[in-house]
Amino acid sequence: IKKLAVLTSGGDSPGMNAAVRAVVRTCAFMEIECMAIYRGYEGMIEGDFVPFNARSVNNIINKGGTILKSARCEEFRTPEGRQKAYDQLKAAGIDCFVVIGGDGSFRGASIFYKEFGIPVIGIPGTIDNDIFGTQFTLGFDTALNTVVEAIDKIRDTASSHSRLFFVEVMGRDVGHIALNAGVAAGAEETLIPEQNLGLERLLDSLKRSKKSGKSSSIVVVAEGDKTGKNVFELKEYVEKNLPIYDVRVSVLGHIQRGGSPTAFDRVLASRMGVKAVESLLEGKANLMVGIVANEMVLTPIDDAVKGHTKIDRELIRVSDIMTI
């Protein structure tokens, strides 16, 4: 392998820059050329490549987002689009690449590998923590800390006005951010797609909470939860059926995707970047780097995209006990 490329793809996540830096610096250390591909697969199709050296990634370890830009690319889903991408890689003399992204980005990488045999290693970058083969995805820890900080602030005002707040958090169709944030921020209830509490039980729980002397309440709701149609419907339902509460809704939104990565995400990104390049140099391909029991492990990309990480049942129990 003489020339390796790196790209970020799909929804951005804090820590992606730290991973780009790690890939580029590992290439410099191993004395192989490194190309940055801008705008994900879109840039691959258009040949948006820039040679990077160790100094190209100065001062980015602490930056949120991705300096390489990201895109969700429709054209890469077509055989014609992937053919164009292959032609561009070949023309630039790129032998293999590292893709930093979520399951959609990995699905594309795997199809591309099977069609053209270009070795690829994936680094899981998404705040949702929903990828099989790793206990933590890049950005999850940072997003979680952002959510907890936001809920702490909401708690101040909730408590001053004795209000009930529904706080919607991201996570697509899984509840990892919600469950962990609920425990860390001391929420009264956490609604996640993996465990349907039901509207009746939510009311009972809120009644109990009021009776037990709590004057304000925070309910964390994962965006994928199906207890109500959405947080606004939950608000209406509680206002109608439990008028003792003055209810407000806060949808945290894309604030969760930004910000400087935590130390945990920076360290994880650095370890994953090194492991990804080393794996390619060892002739490995179509695998994703993950962290399990604090060790770097490799999982076939096809397995990584097939299943989600399971929700932590022990944490659900802890959450239930804490809401007494």
Of 254, 312, 290, 298, the closest CA to residue 131 belongs to 290
If the CB atoms of residues 47 and 258 are measured against ligand F6P, the closer one turns out to be 258
128 is catalytic: yes
Spatial separation of the C-alpha atoms in residues 171 and 215, rounded to whole Å: 29
The answer to whether the annotation marks 163 as part of a ligand binding site is yes
Residue 267 tokens, joined: 């360290």
Residue closer to ligand F6P, measured from CB, 224 or 290: 224
What lies within 8 Å, CB to CB, of 109 at 6+ separation is 99, 120, 122, 286, 301
Reference 24, options 16, 12, 13, 36; nearest CA is 36
Binding interface with ligand F6P (CB under 6 A): 11, 102, 126-128, 170-172, 223, 257
Beta carbon nearer to ligand F6P, 4 or 19:
19
Question: Is 18 in contact with 270 (CB distance < 8 Å)?
Answer: yes
From the CB of 47, what's the least distance to ligand F6P, in Å?
25
What is the smallest separation between the CB atom of 174 and ligand F6P, expressed in angstroms?
A: 9
Strand, coil or helix: 229? coil
* Paired strand residues for 225: none
The nearest distance, CB 316 to ligand F6P, in angstroms, is 20
Chain residue whose CB lies nearest ligand F6P:
170
Read off the tokens for 254.
């894309």
Residue 104 labeled ligand binder? yes
d(CA 33, CA 280): 13
In the complex with ligand F6P, which residue's Cβ is closer, 105 or 209? 105
CB atoms within 10 A of CB 199: 15
The tokens describing 255, both together, are: 């604030």
Instruction: For ligand F6P, give the closer residue by CB, 146 or 279.
Output: 146
128 is in an annotated binding site: yes
Q: Is 73 annotated as a binding residue?
A: yes
For residue 250, the surrounding DSSP H or E stretch is strand 246-251
Q: Which of 128, 130, 225, 265 is catalytic?
A: 128
| Strand intervals (E) in 38-188 | 49-52, 96-101, 120-124, 163-169
CB of 262 to ligand F6P, least distance (A): 17
Residue 223 assigned as binding residue: yes
Tell me the closest approach of the beta carbon of residue 128 to ligand F6P, in angstroms.
5
- The answer to whether 130 is a known ligand-binding residue is no
Residue stretches of the annotated binding site for substrate? 126-128, 163, 170-172, 223, 248, 254-257
Residue stretches of the annotated binding site for Mg(2+)? 103
Residue stretches of the annotated binding site for ATP? 11, 72-73, 102-105
What residues act catalytically? 128
Residue stretches of the annotated binding site for ADP? 21-25, 155, 186-188, 214-216
